[in-house]
Amino acid sequence: MNTTQLFLGVIFSSIGLGYFLYGKKQKMTVPFLAGLVLMVFPYFIESSILLGTIGIALSALPYFLRF
């Protein structure tokens, strides 16, 4: 694991924690699940480019899907 992957993992996990807490408090499914996935997925992705791409897509998902 290099520094870029560590930094991206911390950033996306922090965003995920925010979405997770927001979704839990508001009882909204999409932010809750997106937050959960954002907190877990950096452990399984080796590529920095793939990590950034998936992280940005998951971070934008609750904005476009409102359930």
pLDDT of residue 44: 93
In this prediction, residue 1 has a pLDDT band, given cuts at 50, 70 and 90, of low
55 dihedral zone (left: phi>0; alpha: psi -120 to 50; beta) = alpha
Range of the domain at 22: 3-64
SS3 64: helix
Read off the pLDDT of each residue in 4-18 and give the average, rounded to a whole number: 95
pLDDT of residue 53: 96
Number of domains forming the structure of the chain: 1
